[in-house]
Amino acid sequence: MRLNGFVIGMLLMSSGAASADNAKALHDVQAAENQIRKANADEAAAHRLETNAQKEDAKARHLWAAANADIKKAYAQRAAANKDAKQAAADKAAADGFEKAAAADEARAQADEKYAASEAAASDLAKQYSDAAEQAAQARTAAKHVQDAKALQDLEAANRDEQAAQANVAKAAADAKAAWDAKDAASQALAKAQAELNGRGYGGGGSAAGNIDKAEHDLAKAEHDEHDAAVRRAKAQHEQAAAADRVAQAENAIAAAEHDAKAAAKAKAAAEAAAKYAAADKARADMADGAAAASEQQAAAYEATAGQARDAAAAASAAAAQHANAASNDMSKAYADRARAATALKKAAGDIAKARADIAAAHDHKAKALADLRAAIAQNPY
């Protein structure tokens, strides 16, 4: 049958429209893949920042613990001098309390070292997964294939869950930063007040003792606030690990549905990398549990030492305690050392909070890009 000119024209127009639609859909797929690539790069950079900040945090926590051990020694030495019975008893109680606090601080420092190591391992594996996913995307493009629709939908949902968990981790990190802002302020106030109290031979030290009372209260509250943030971080890390496992399952489904041999091999490699990252994410969540448990011991120790340090300051400022000794100078120095450690910890907490906010933003960007990718693929570009 011969086709007249009108029919041929209509067929050509129809073919041209379909070709244009396919070209646009292909462009949209590539644009979404580019956005995923950028989100992965941003996340990798943020993970590097957090890894470095976690290392600095652990290092500064050891300094904080060492300063508390020195504070304990100074209280014990001043108690042994026994210049005043009431003060000696208060100093001994404070020394006992700071011995427990120093032990709790050292345990937290070790827990944070383990968390920092798990963060570094998870960061490396996250980068390996994003690189493998990028190679899989390139192989699909070369094969003119797209992901299985159902598997891609599952991947998008898992990434959304992961993004929500990352946002909760970021919120906990911001709250931990706020706690360290308060702890740093209290530590600076304590160092100043202890220097005033110990530097005046205790005569007329009532105002310094009052400042110590307030600062110790503020420090104890901030310790509890940091513990609350550590607990919420651990919970969110477990939620994130569960979502990462679902990401790995979706990547497996994408690989299983791929018919092109080269694309299937790359998709399988991406799925394996995702599974390794999910396992590392679970290990990181477990380390976050350890840090939260150590933080609980810290909070309890500081609640006790706050009262003991206040009692010792009140006894030292009493009229009956008109004396000074070397331990007083050592105590002032130890409090100053702890204040410097607090400033370092405050900076590390700020860097961690920024990194976590950047990671959450990258995951949000990736989740949106995955939604765009799914919409573009629905247009059937190939």
353-365 pLDDT tens trace = 999 999 999 999 9
Handedness of CA 226, 231, 234, 235 (dihedral sign): negative
Tokens of 292: 């939260």
pLDDT digits (tens, 9 = 90+) for 186-215: 999 999 998 888 775 434 456 888 899 899
Average pLDDT of the residues in 119-130: 93
The secondary structure of the chain in percent helix, strand, coil, rounded to multiples of 5, reads 90, 0, 10
Q: How far apart are CA 233 and CA 297, in angstroms?
A: 17
Model-wide pTM > 0.85: yes
What number is the average pLDDT over the span 282-309?
93
Cβ atoms 279, 130 nearer than 8 A: no
pLDDT at 325: 60
